[in-house]
Structure 1
Amino acid sequence: MRAANNHTWGPKLHADGSATFDIWAPALPSLAVEISEKIYPMSPIGGSWYSVTVKGVKSDSTYLYVLPDGSRVPDPAPRFQPHGVFGPSRLWDHKAFGWTQNHWTGRPWEEHVFYEIHIGAFTAEGTFVAALEHLPRLAEMGFTAVEIMPLAQFPGERGWGYDGVFPYAPHNAYGSPDDFKCFVDAAHRCGLAVYLDVVYNHFGPEGNVLPQLAPDFFQADNPTPWGDRIDFGQDAVRRFFLDNVIYWIEAFCLDGLRLDAVDQIEDARDLHILQEISDAVRERFSERHVHLIVENPANGTDLLATHHEGRRLYDADWNDEFHHAVHVAVTGEASGHYEPFADAPFANIKKALAEGYLHEGKRTLPIEPSPSASLPPTAFVHFLQNHDQVGNRACGDRLHTAIDKHRFRVLTEILVLSPQIPLFFMGDDHLSNRPFHFFSDYEGEIAEAIKANRPREAENFGGFPPGVRPEDIADPNDRATFTRSKIAWDQTHTPEVSDWKILLAVLLAVRKKHVLPCLTGAEGYAGTVIPSEDSLIFIDWRMPGRMLRLRANLSQEPRDLDARLGQLVYATGSHTHGNSLEAWSTRLYIQPPA
């Protein structure tokens, strides 16, 4: 179901060489568009929309909107901002790109193993074209999907992307829209699905032109923690984001989206915007696999409920609670976001693996919530770290650098061999020792405010290591902070890294061969925690036609196992038979039906 009006945001190129420009500007009595230094007055077409069709427009023309006072602003829904947030917008002919993977129809959800990347920090060049070189290796290891941190045009050259102000335009420092298409096409050629992280809860603090055109686009008196909240009570606002969802998936052949912090999206209408987004995607892309993921700190199972035709509204939620429980258990850090997980962290790990959420959720939709245990394990994306959990730390350090290597290996085995959908952060595949910092590209008061906030964020993500002071945190706006965060691909060929890559490839192969067949048709109430001491992770999952049994020992001592657990399909340690589980080892069994 789509928004009620027929107007759409952004420019539209026509086959006859003309172009139509539509824009919603309820705050303005008149409007014009300037193309190649020539001004074309726009006509009001109802509902505070303005429109004009201009003949003889080149498909790569730049343009600006001219306000009644003579000032000029970019299009709030441009397809490309080649000169950044303050430059003119540029038309883009999406039909001109020559896709080579037209047969690609995506991957079923249960096949996904995610690898999260930041385009700017993934390579020294920080571009789409440079990044695609590494895709074949990821596919060969066994990853099946890449998830890209936000691309929407944001201020400056470098940043995490959660401060975007032009949601339709890929960030210019990474390359052109066609460069992004080359990346997607290359990923599909390797068998990798591609997902994009999108931010629909706020806009960034600099370069947003919408307040000049339509201040009612936002709820200034009801801000999110990062900026003014979006007012989804307006038809034109809903259209902006509904069209944006379809645009990214359709124009760039994406396999899905991950919606950031949906707990900060409020909507009082009977049909909530989050449900309308899901309905629109399911209706538009019924011919191929397209999946939607949420980051929902509210833990509402309503967004993961089965809606129609057996499909969940959203395929899965990023389950931060699994990460937090693991982090507290293996590091002892229990401040900030980790404080609620300080008690019984190993029990929390087991519960998250068996049931999903640890804490009761808050619903978003008028759907009766159900226990998270009633959801299939595949409704949760699990990870040992992601951009937040690394980048918000005082030193941007990675988990494997802080704990015993045997313990990290067992945690990785648990992540891959469990039936939840695993996600890795870039660098996890080769035990990267490079930090990943929070970085941005601002000046003046905004830059100082961002810098001042970093110690508070560090307190939330593990605090300060011995000898590290708040003033020691890297300045987010220093280019060197960004440079240090880049993956160093020339450091990936040591014997230790080679061994790790082999292990990870083996794990992913075991998941594909033995775990994946268990996931099709998986249902709720699948997981059972087998009573054991803290450092033992013993979980059974009742899957269609078989039982999946994970036995992991995170202690320094061997432990006894039950007999007759089923077919052993994976084991670490020198003694992989018998009823003794070695220190720092993992086994996976599959028991067929009796």
Structure 2
Amino acid sequence: MRHNTWSALLLAGLLGCGESALENQQRSGEETAEVVQRLGPSGRPGMGATIYSGGVTFRTWAPLAQKVFVAGDFSGWGWVELGGEGNGNFSGDVAGAVKGQKYKFVTRNQWGSDAWRADPRAAWQENSTGASIIYDHGEYWWNAQQFSTPGFNEMVIYEMHVGTFHDSPGFGPGNWNSAIAKLGYLQDLGINMVKVMPAYEFAGDFSWGYNVAFPFAPESAYGSPNDMKRFVDEAHMRGIGVIFDVVHNHWGPSDLPMWCFSGNCLNNGGEYFFDDGRKVTPWGNTRPDYGRAEVRAYIRDSMMNLLDNFRGDGLRWDATKYMRTIDGTGDIPSAWQVFRSVNNEINTRNGYKISIAEDFGGGNSITDNASGDFGGGAGFDAQWSAEFVHPIRAAVIEQNDANRNMGAVAAAIGQSFSGRTHARIIYSESHDEVANGHSRVPEEIWPNNAGSWASKKRSTLAAGITMTSPGIPMIFQGQEILENGFFSDQDPVDWQKLTDFGGIHNLYRDLIRLRRNWSNNTRGLRGGGLNIHHINNTNKVIAYHRYENGGPGDDVIVVANFSSTTFNSYNIGFPRAGTWYLRFNSDWSGYSGDFGNTPSTNTTANGGRKDDLNYNASFAIGPYSLLIFSQ
């Protein structure tokens, strides 16, 4: 039986019958399909499902399809045929459709076979294999109207995995609401940017998030789109910006709505994906075809969705090396077009929002400015620095003092990209560095004894170098409470450690506040000026001068002892005469009862050339300790 009107559907008792009707329609395509309406193409804008007064416009890109239908709660899961636009898009205005209703597309391929498809641009998903849900981005009422994204030189980033940040073992993962409950804690810690690991619909409920299947839809296990917006809103109300981690080097590889979307797989996954050697990635044969304008638009729109509709303050692009190359070699020029066009648009529209690459190999070309879509660098504001994290981790994990290389530490502190001091993200822990065969730094220092004196001393020394070096510092969730082991998507942060290692937490808090110049006497730590003037590879001590403009309250001297030796009177050069106040001593016993409390104090710099500076001063410094002085 075929029905051609909404009233006929109602009489048949189909409208609102949900999944039973859907299952019936999925059996064998046109033979059992209820084509309840045929529409001409819409003149309204928007891709996916776009709400208008009185209905919803549906539009999808299916360039190889013969026909496309949409079915959902609004039609009793009868098929509504969409009009072809002649450009690969099919669209139609469905009167009476409203937000919250479920829907799917049906694509008929060139051979006449039909297949049900979730919307690749779905703003909300039941789950990765379920129906798409009509969502109105205008329905959320934002509260934090006056928030200003911190300047790049003021950012301190906290990397967060929503599923494990604030959760208890067992049952489902943590969610946006559980993460919101700890935002006040991050505010007190001094964090002003949170980098959220990918939180868009993926297969299953537990994942790092790098198997993104629906780049426009928040992960259903974490909550609704409104929950995700509330997380951003609540962060903004506490002075914290949000950076979203995005994945476009591959998708999935499972539960992909765009896979063979038109019904013709083109020797791989259809029109969204490369079908030659460029399809191959370390995570599956699902690299997007950046050469297609529609795929580039899909990627661009998913990112602008995060910056505009979710009011994100920046993006961190995962593994851009595997966008621009096939396997680390073999250039993919069209990926550079994606980098440049999106970064140029962000800079033009919202230059204060940060765009970060994880590349590890592109050097200055990644952060050099882009010249349009086809020339210059990739145009990223910053990139993760392997040149920093690996030497610093090596220096503190090494068991033998004699093997610590102060030259390598100095190079890590002084490294930069594209001549900009804040064009790099620096850290000693990240999701990658504490998994994939590695562990948290305290665990690496002493396996199964991360609470040891050595683990505490040397891991906090790495944190001190991170917070006082040029660049944008970042810590990974739980690092500040001496989290041990390795990162797993089913192992939540153990917040009991906040009690057990509260002093270590306070050490991180003090470092972060000094880095952000909270007391207006360490402005140089957020500046670009750097002079590494003292490198003692024999005694394993390094010192450097940090400054923005120079002068009292600005000039900062950092001294780091990478040895187990206590120096009761250590002398280095200082840039100015007078009293230099000790702002931080990582050996203070208030941070941990087993720290030595070496009596480091204020010091006075007198005339006398040392380390190519005109003044010098002496002080005590404990083992594996970091001191910060300023005037």
Q: The residue matched to 2:145 in structure 1 has which SS?
A: coil
Aligned counterpart for 1:187 among listed residues 227, 232, 235: 235
Q: Provide the rounded CA distance (Å) in 2 between the counterparts of 1:245 and 1:208.
A: 18
Q: The residue matched to 2:434 in structure 1 has which SS?
A: helix
Aligned counterpart for 2:147 among listed residues 101, 104, 113: 104
Q: Provide the rounded CA distance (Å) in 2 between the counterparts of 1:253 and 1:240.
A: 19
Q: Which residue of 1 aligns with 2:303?
A: 245
Q: Provide the rounded CA distance (Å) in 2 between the counterparts of 1:44 and 1:515.
A: 65
Q: Provide the rounded CA distance (Å) in 1 between the counterparts of 2:573 and 2:291.
A: 60
Q: State the AA in 1 paired with 2:392.
A: V
Q: Which residue of 2 aligns with 1:431?
A: 482
Deviation at 1:245, TM superposition (A): 1.2
Aligned counterpart for 1:78 among listed residues 119, 122, 125: 122
Q: Deviations over 1:464-489 (max 9, x none)?
A: xxxxxxxxxxxxxxxxxx1xx11122
Determine if contact 2:369/2:378 at 8 Å carries over to the other structure. Answer: yes
Q: Is 2:271 the partner of 1:216?
A: yes
Identity of matched residues, %: 26
Q: What's the TM-score once normalised by structure 2's chain length?
A: 0.75
Deviation at 1:7, TM superposition (A): 7.4
Aligned counterpart for 1:258 among listed residues 316, 337, 354: 316
Ranked by relative contact order (alpha carbons within 8 Å, sequence separation 6 or more), the top structure is 1
Q: Provide the rounded CA distance (Å) in 1 between the counterparts of 2:117 and 2:531.
A: 55
Deviation at 1:561, TM superposition (A): 2.4
Q: The residue matched to 2:429 in structure 1 has which SS?
A: coil
Aligned counterpart for 1:417 among listed residues 454, 462, 468: 468
Q: Provide the rounded CA distance (Å) in 2 between the counterparts of 1:354 and 1:410.
A: 17
Q: Provide the rounded CA distance (Å) in 2 between the counterparts of 1:113 and 1:296.
A: 20
Q: Which residue of 2 aligns with 1:291?
A: 354
Aligned counterpart for 1:508 among listed residues 501, 505, 512: 512
Pairs within 5 Å for 1:384-395: 384-393=428-437
CA-based RMSD: 2.8
Moved more, 527-536 or 378-387: 527-536
Q: State the AA in 2 paired with 1:328.
A: A
Q: Provide the rounded CA distance (Å) in 1 between the counterparts of 2:521 and 2:156.
A: 12
Deviation at 1:330, TM superposition (A): 2.5
Deviation at 1:70, TM superposition (A): 3.1
Pairs within 5 Å for 1:193-212: 193-212=241-260
Q: Deviations over 1:99-145 (max 9, x none)?
A: 11112132111111111111011122501001101001111111111
Q: Is 2:566 the partner of 1:562?
A: no
Q: State the AA in 1 paired with 2:104.
A: L
Deviation at 1:571, TM superposition (A): 3.7
Q: Provide the rounded CA distance (Å) in 2 between the counterparts of 1:263 and 1:111.
A: 27
Q: Deviations over 1:539-586 (max 9, x none)?
A: 334643355432100101245322445434534232234344332222
Determine if contact 2:154/2:526 at 8 Å carries over to the other structure. Answer: no
Q: The residue matched to 2:528 in structure 1 has which SS?
A: coil
Q: The residue matched to 1:23 in structure 2 has which SS?
A: strand
Q: Which residue of 1 aligns with 2:614?
A: none
Q: Which residue of 2 aligns with 1:87?
A: 130
Q: Which residue of 2 aligns with 1:280?
A: 345
Distance 1:48 1:7, change over 3 A: farther
Structure 1 unaligned regions, length at least 5: 1-5, 335-342, 357-371, 440-481
Q: Which residue of 1 aligns with 2:99?
A: 59
Determine if contact 1:147/1:197 at 8 Å carries over to the other structure. Answer: yes
Q: State the AA in 2 paired with 1:389.
A: E
Q: Is 2:542 the partner of 1:537?
A: yes
More helix by share: 1
Q: Provide the rounded CA distance (Å) in 1 between the counterparts of 2:522 and 2:291.
A: 42
Distance 1:94 1:530, change over 3 A: same
Pairs within 5 Å for 1:540-551: 540-541=545-546, 543-545=548-550, 547-551=555-559
Q: Which residue of 2 aligns with 1:169?
A: 217
Q: The residue matched to 1:31 in structure 2 has which SS?
A: strand
Q: Which residue of 1 aligns with 2:37?
A: none
Determine if contact 2:528/2:546 at 8 Å carries over to the other structure. Answer: no
Deviation at 1:273, TM superposition (A): 1.2
Structure 2 unaligned regions, length at least 5: 1-43, 168-172, 263-269, 325-331, 372-376, 446-453, 586-597, 604-617
Q: State the AA in 2 paired with 1:86.
A: T
Moved more, 54-63 or 44-53: 44-53
For this pair of structures, how many residues does the alignment match?
Answer: 507
Q: State the AA in 2 paired with 1:298.
A: G
Q: The residue matched to 2:302 in structure 1 has which SS?
A: helix
Determine if contact 1:430/1:501 at 8 Å carries over to the other structure. Answer: yes
Q: Provide the rounded CA distance (Å) in 1 between the counterparts of 2:306 and 2:582.
A: 40
